[in-house]
């Protein structure tokens, strides 16, 4: 579907201009100036010639086939020319013009009309309110950006045109290339889903970076993202963690904020590595423009200054990496060829008076060491430092090594010229060692992300159940327990008594001590109204509780639930339906401590038992379930099975909005759901 956006044989620029102050001038100029070899047609209602080219008053006057139309005119006139494009048989449109849903009610109406026209004529629209497309594979610059992308294998998509222009300018300074470079704007039709689908099979793209302010169709997004992430690294900035940023995004691109917890879980499950800011985005782009990946998490640091070496050691481990332990052969070479005062263990300190030859000795030996996955080389300018020679030596090694070599020259005036050389070179240069360590950490994180994507797709494929008959909207407590039991979630024996006599008889049958709970369709949280009494030891206590509940609740009381007392750890299992991404499953310690500790883990359904065990082990209090010190070891396996049952339940019943099992009592042998609330 998107091929003609990136490889069109002919383009019509609607709103092309000879006025250098107008976007229509820069748009046409960019298409003509950067090597695009297809046919270009200028469309202008007022003039017969634009920039020396014949100008057409309408696309309807162009008799040749047009693969792509770029619209650069005021918003109020866009829909009129869009309809003309439809009549002319043009299927692919980039709408640069702003003034749509990002501006409010009137603009939103214009955008809705735009979508109606596009659907009528079966057209694909990129934008509106976007920068356009830059493609290094076809030498196409269908944007109003200053400059052209360098050739590379990074695919980039962004909802913000300004971030595109900033990235482009930075990239050209730092020798970072892209395959396809796309501004999506308001995403009226083409969204991140279509773009990720395209990049999945695009041979020119090896890694995808994105800036997304909103994510639509969350379930479909997760599936497509996981399909991409299992074969290519996928890194995304998704802002909106604060209330203020959510408001800013509404006025920016008309985006609706996604709940932060949902985004965090969705990204992790789908194999997306999340970035937090532009610095991280730029740093990872620089690394991927030089290297495809990291084969080992063991990193070596080479420095001519002890302080930066020590700081870098912390940074390496802080970013999920390890400091490499060298082979004996490496240590012997370093001992023999470096001064006696040098540190030959990691971090390697070649000492402050080091010239370029010491760096060469260290780097060459570390590249040959199978225990080293990547190298961070740090230089601080001393009186004897050969800055240029050292820079050239590092560049030489980077050209012939598959292991990532990252450099950080810490300073200012003394290193200014060499920094320019390094930024344009084949190795990844960073102003600070912390940036280098962060980037390697994010590179390594992709291995785990890829495994997550594969696992998520496996669960999706094995859980393609047809939806079963909908649950009754007015499920009572006993019915709700039966629903859990039908999905292999163990439940405690529970009986409903309509009067005090029944309650006493049932309590005898269950066997004292018992637990008493109010049954009421109007009260969700029983503990908040004194609706639970534990350790009830005789019939008199049963009678008193029933009569007191009847007096307090009157017609709201449906009866009393009688259950046996079970001792064990209290767990909570819950589900909240996110309208975008689907059912979010929660696990944590239950009872009154749930909201206090907030020690919980989340996943979107579906999950399998392996993923359920990961959820359980993620919480800080997991050791309390696993036999910490003198505590009994609870049957964690049974909790995992209950989580899978819960996942199957909500996967088959889309109508469930919320579900709480609080508590699920777990013992050394088994677990039981003793309380449940299902909201349809």
Hey, which residues does 377 pair with through a beta bridge?
Answer: 302, 407
Residue 21 has pLDDT above 60, yes or no: yes
What does each C-alpha distance from 528 to 517, 532, 534, 576, 577 come to in angstroms?
A: 12, 9, 15, 21, 24
Report the pLDDT averaged over residues 4-10: 97
Enter the tokens of residue 509. Answer: 């049958």
> What CA–CA distance (Å, rounded) separates 411 from 416?
8
Looking at every residue in the chain, the average pLDDT score rounds to 93
> What CA–CA distance (Å, rounded) separates 371 from 654?
50
Enter the tokens of residue 340. Answer: 């006696």
Of 473, 523, 506, nearest in space to 675 by CA: 523
Residue 513 DSSP SS3: coil
- pLDDT tens column, 324-359: 999 999 999 999 999 999 999 999 999 999 999 999
C-alpha neighbours within 13 Å on the C-beta side of residue 293: 15
> CA angle, 516 as apex, 512 and 518 as ends, to 5°?
165
In this prediction, residue 465 has a pLDDT band, given cuts at 50, 70 and 90, of low
Write b or e for each residue in 431-467: b if 16 or more Cβ atoms lie within 10 A of its Cβ, otherwise e.
eebbbbbbbbbbbbbbeebbebbebbbbbbeebeeee
So what's the pLDDT on residue 187?
A: 96
Report the pLDDT averaged over residues 555-566: 92
CB 387 within 8 A of CB 381: yes
Q: Please name each of the domains of the chain with its CATH number.
A: 1-129 (3.40.50.720), 149-289 (3.40.50.261), 293-445 (3.40.50.261), 493-564 (3.30.1490.20), 569-679 (3.30.470.20)
CB 68 within 8 A of CB 38: no
What does each C-alpha distance from 92 to 68, 204, 361, 572 come to in angstroms?
A: 5, 21, 56, 51
> What CA–CA distance (Å, rounded) separates 45 from 49?
10
What does each C-alpha distance from 175 to 15, 437, 511 come to in angstroms?
A: 33, 20, 77
Of 636, 591, 631, 634, nearest in space to 618 by CA: 636
Instruction: Tell me the whole-structure pTM to 2 decimals.
Output: 0.91
So what's the pLDDT on residue 435?
A: 97
In this prediction, residue 243 has a pLDDT band, given cuts at 50, 70 and 90, of low
Question: Does the bond joining 249 to the residue before it have cis omega, within 30 degrees of 0?
Answer: no
Residue 524 DSSP SS3: coil
Residue 1 DSSP SS3: coil
The DSSP output letter for 452 is: H
Of 294, 343, 361, 299, nearest in space to 325 by CA: 299
Residue 81 has pLDDT above 90, yes or no: yes
| Residue 68 host element (H or E) | strand 68-71
Residue 529 has pLDDT above 70, yes or no: no
Using only C-alpha atoms, the chain has a radius of gyration, in whole angstroms, of 32
Report the pLDDT averaged over residues 456-460: 94
User: For the chain, percent helix, then strand, then coil, each to nearest 5?
Assistant: 40, 20, 35
**Helical residues (DSSP H) of 44-177, grouped into ranges:** 75-87, 105-120, 161-173
- pLDDT tens column, 157-210: 999 999 999 999 999 999 999 999 999 999 999 999 999 999 999 999 999 999
Report the pLDDT averaged over residues 59-77: 97
Residue that has been written with the tokens 């297809």 in this structure: 38
- pLDDT tens column, 218-236: 999 999 999 999 999 999 9
Residue 237 DSSP SS3: strand
Residue 519 has pLDDT above 60, yes or no: yes
Of 47, 41, 44, 83, nearest in space to 65 by CA: 41
Burial of 490 from C-beta contacts in 10 A (0-12 / 13-18 / 19+): middle
So what's the pLDDT on residue 591?
A: 64
CB 72 within 8 A of CB 14: yes
**Number of residues assigned to the chain:** 680
**Count of H-run helices and E-run strands, the chain:** 23, 30
Longest dimension (CA), the chain: 101
So what's the pLDDT on residue 256?
A: 46
Tell which wins on pLDDT, 285 or 243: 285
Report the pLDDT averaged over residues 616-634: 92
So what's the pLDDT on residue 597?
A: 73
Tell which wins on pLDDT, 592 or 500: 500
Enter the tokens of residue 229. Answer: 């992430």
Phi, psi dihedrals of residue 188, rounded to the nearest 5°? -60, -35
Residue 564 has pLDDT above 50, yes or no: yes
Those residues whose C-beta lies under 8 Å from the C-beta of residue 325, and which sit 6 or more positions away, are: 298, 346, 371
Enter the tokens of residue 393. Answer: 């030596």
C-alpha neighbours within 13 Å on the C-beta side of residue 199: 35
Report the pLDDT averaged over residues 382-388: 95
Those residues whose C-beta lies under 8 Å from the C-beta of residue 136, and which sit 6 or more positions away, are: 148, 149, 150, 151, 152, 177, 178, 179, 180, 181
Hey, which residues does 302 pair with through a beta bridge?
Answer: 348, 377
In this prediction, residue 257 has a pLDDT band, given cuts at 50, 70 and 90, of very low
Report the pLDDT averaged over residues 644-670: 94
Tell which wins on pLDDT, 629 or 241: 629
Residue 36 has pLDDT above 90, yes or no: yes
Percentage of the residues of the chain whose pLDDT score is greater than 70: 95
- pLDDT tens column, 574-585: 999 998 999 999
């Amino acid at each position: 579907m998107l091929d003609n956006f990136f490889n069109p044989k002919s383009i019509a620029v609607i709103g092309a201009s000879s006025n250098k102050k107008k976007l229509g001038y820069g748009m046409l100029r960019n298409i003509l100036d950067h090597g695009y070899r297809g046919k270009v047609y200028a469309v202008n209602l007022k003039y017969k010639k634009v920039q020396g080219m014949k100008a057409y008053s309408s696309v309807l006057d162009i008799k040749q086939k047009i693969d792509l139309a770029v619209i650069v005119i005021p918003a109020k006139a866009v829909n009129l020319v869009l309809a003309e494009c439809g009549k002319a048989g043009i299927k692919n449109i980039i709408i640069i013009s702003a003034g749509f849903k990002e501006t409010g009610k009137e603009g939103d109406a214009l955008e809705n009309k735009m979508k109606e026209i596009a659907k009528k004529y079966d057209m694909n629209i990129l934008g509106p309110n976007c920068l356009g497309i830059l493609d290094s594979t076809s030498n196409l610059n269908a944007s109003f950006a200053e400059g052209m992308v360098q050739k590379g294998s990074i695919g980039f998509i962004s909802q913000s045109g300004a971030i595109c222009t900033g990235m482009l300018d930075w990239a050209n300074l730092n020798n970072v290339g892209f395959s396809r470079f796309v501004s999506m704007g308001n995403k009226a039709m083409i969204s991140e889903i279509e773009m990720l689908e395209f990049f999945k099979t695009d041979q020119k793209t090896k890694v995808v970076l994105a800036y997304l302010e909103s994510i639509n169709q969350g379930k479909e997004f997760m599936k497509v993202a996981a399909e991409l992430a299992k074969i290519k690294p996928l890194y995304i900035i998704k802002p909106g963690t604060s209330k203020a940023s959510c408001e800013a995004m509404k006025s920016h691109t008309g985006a609706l904020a996604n709940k932060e917890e949902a985004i965090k879980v969705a990204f992790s499950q789908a194999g997306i590595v999340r970035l937090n800011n532009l610095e991280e985005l730029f740093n990872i782009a620089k690394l991927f423009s030089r290297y495809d990946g990291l084969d080992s998490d063991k990193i070596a640091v080479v420095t001519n200054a002890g302080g930066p070496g020590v700081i870098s050691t912390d940074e390496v481990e802080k970013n999920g990496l390890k400091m490499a332990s060298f082979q004996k052969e490496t240590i012997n070479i370093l001992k023999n060829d470096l001064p006696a005062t040098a540190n030959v263990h990691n971090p390697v300190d070649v000492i402050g008076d080091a010239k370029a030859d010491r760096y060469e000795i260290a780097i060459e030996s570390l590249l040959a060491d199978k225990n080293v996955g990547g190298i961070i080389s740090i230089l601080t300018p001393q009186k004897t430092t050969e800055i240029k020679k050292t820079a050239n030596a590092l560049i030489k090694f980077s050209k012939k090594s598959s292991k990532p070599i990252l450099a950080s020259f810490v300073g200012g005036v003394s290193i200014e010229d060499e920094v320019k050389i390094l930024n344009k070179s084949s190795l990844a240069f960073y102003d600070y060692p912390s940036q280098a360590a962060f980037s390697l950490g994010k590179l390594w994180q992709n291995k785990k992300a890829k495994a997550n994507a594969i696992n998520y797709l496996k669960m999706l494929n094995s859980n393609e159940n047809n939806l079963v008959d909908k649950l009754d909207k007015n499920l009572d407590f006993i019915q709700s327990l039966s629903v859990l039991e039908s999905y292999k979630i163990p439940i405690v024996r529970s009986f409903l008594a309509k009067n005090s006599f029944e309650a006493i008889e049932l309590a005898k049958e269950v066997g004292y001590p018992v637990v008493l709970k109010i049954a009421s369709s109007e009260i969700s949280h029983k503990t908040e109204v004194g609706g639970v009494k534990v350790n009830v030891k005789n019939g008199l206590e049963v009678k008193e509780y029933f009569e007191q509940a009847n007096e307090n609740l009157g017609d709201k009381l449906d009866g009393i639930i009688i259950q046996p007392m079970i001792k064990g750890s209290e767990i909570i299992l819950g589900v909240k339906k996110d309208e975008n991404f689907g059912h979010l499953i929660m696990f944590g310690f239950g009872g009154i401590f749930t909201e206090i500790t907030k020690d919980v883990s989340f996943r979107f359904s579906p999950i399998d038992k392996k993923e359920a065990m990961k959820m359980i082990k993620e919480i800080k209090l997991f050791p309390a379930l696993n036999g910490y010190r003198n505590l009994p070891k609870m049957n964690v396996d049974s909790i995992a099975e209950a989580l899978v049952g819960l996942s199957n339940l909500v996967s088959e019943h889309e109508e469930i909005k919320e579900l709480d099992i609080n508590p699920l009592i777990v013992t050394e042998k088994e677990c039981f759901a003793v309380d449940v609330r299902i909201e349809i």
